[in-house]
Amino acid sequence: MNDRERIDADSLAVATLTVMLTQSFHAVLLGSLWVGETAAWIAMLISGLGALLFYWPVARQIAARRGGNLLDVAADAAGAPGEILTGVLFGAFSLHHCGLILRQTAEMAVSTVYPHTPQTFAMGTVAVCSVYCAYGGLPAAVRAARLFLPVFAFSLLLILVGALGWADFDYLFPVWGPGIPRVLAGTPLLMVWLWPMLATFYLAPDQVREPRSLPKQAAIAILVTTLAYALQKVELLMVIPWPQGRSNLFPLHQLTRLVTGGRFFERIESVWVFLWTFGTAMHVGLLLHLSARAFAQSFRMPSFRPALVPLSVLLLTVALFPHDVAESITMDMSKAPAGLAIIFIWPLLLAGVAAWRRRRRASGEA
């Protein structure tokens, strides 16, 4: 890969931030309400900070190998089997995540503003856009994200400010919801909501121009995302309080329904369909690209693009697999322990072993 095809670390951080914000519209964040109840925003904050703690040592190991990524660390730690296993685990998990996101977007479109559109058609449309994004590669995704972020962030802010009139501060109490032990016990599983961001920071450093500055940019992106999600949760709890909010499939969509500015500025939820679709295409596109790259690197394929064809079929299969949106959310929640192991425990283990082997090698050479 020549230097022109590489991307800046801050551009990658911005792209992941965009992708994470698009997740706001999906039901994947419902878990924080189930875990934290009225303390969902605290659970969100703790999980974000916890994720950062896990990420940092791994990021340092990746940054130490200039031009490498997590798969290279895995190769250092456990040889080719370790690299293949890591690539397959990350690729498969990303694919599963993308499938569920795709399904939830289609469900949301059909349940809200497009009741007569066949779901498979909605899903197929978003899938085609996603594969197109994935085919364009990381530089294309980053450029698109840079263009999309201001529009998306402004729209999100508009929803939150527009619905503020319905908020009641009292609904945030009791502060600790089900109790500190239960919140803390559930928080590790919540850390998996950062999967798209961490997967990018683990798998994409080999495409970054100055990989040494990536950990810092990534840490800022993780903190900003955590803060943005926590603030979202605060407002959601104040407008659609626990326990009403626990059964709300598309809370941000409901906020858009509550936005009113007199008799002229209301019923604007359809405007956001464009953002859901484009945001999902970007979200799924980036992860599908990373998934294809992980498989390609693991199996020594010269290019990631041929892998996109079978992966897109698998993507649609995963999306169609759940019986309904409730099952897709349940699948999302139930895969959290596996996600925790893959995105946090396994890379930490690899980084530890790789660091130990490097130190041993260095002392041997000395």
Binding site for other proteins (CB under 8 A): 37-38, 111-117, 140, 143-144, 147, 166, 168, 170-171, 173-180, 240-244, 254, 257-258, 260, 263, 266-267, 274
Q: What tokens were used for 343? A: 């995105």
Cα dist from 278 to 34, 144, 147, 282, 313, whole Å: 28, 10, 12, 6, 20
CB 84, min distance to other proteins, A: 34
Residue with Cβ nearer other proteins (171 or 321) = 171
Residue with Cβ nearer other proteins (193 or 278) = 278
Residue with Cβ nearer other proteins (116 or 300) = 116
Measured CA to CA, the distance from residue 102 to residue 249 in angstroms comes to 15
Measured CA to CA, the distance from residue 37 to residue 61 in angstroms comes to 37
The neighbour count for residue 100, using CB atoms within 10 Å, is 24
Residue with Cβ nearer other proteins (38 or 297) = 38
CB 197, min distance to other proteins, A: 23
Specify the residue for token string 């800022």: 220
Residue with Cβ nearer other proteins (263 or 300) = 263
Q: What tokens were used for 198? A: 């961490």
Instruction: Please state whether the peptide bond connecting residue 174 to the residue before it is cis, i.e. omega within 30 degrees of 0.
Output: yes
63 contacts 206 by C-beta, under 8 angstroms = no
Residue with Cβ nearer other proteins (180 or 185) = 180
CB 30, min distance to other proteins, A: 16
Residue with Cβ nearer other proteins (211 or 241) = 241
CB 268, min distance to other proteins, A: 12
Phi, psi of 265 (to 5 degrees): -105, 80
Residue with Cβ nearer other proteins (144 or 218) = 144
CB 131, min distance to other proteins, A: 15
Residue with Cβ nearer other proteins (251 or 347) = 251
CB 260, min distance to other proteins, A: 6
Measured CA to CA, the distance from residue 232 to residue 237 in angstroms comes to 9
- The one-letter amino acid code at 148 reads F
Q: What is the DSSP string of 189-205?
A: HHGGGGHHHHHHHHHSG
CB 312, min distance to other proteins, A: 19
CB 240, min distance to other proteins, A: 7
- By CB neighbour count within 10 A (0-12 exposed, 13-18 middle, 19+ buried), where does 247 fall? exposed
Q: Where are the alpha helices (DSSP H) in the chain?
A: 9-22, 30-36, 40-64, 70-111, 119-162, 180-190, 195-203, 214-239, 251-258, 272-298, 305-320, 325-334, 336-340, 346-365
Is the dihedral angle over the CA atoms 120, 108, 145, 68 positive or is it negative?
A: negative
CB 105, min distance to other proteins, A: 16
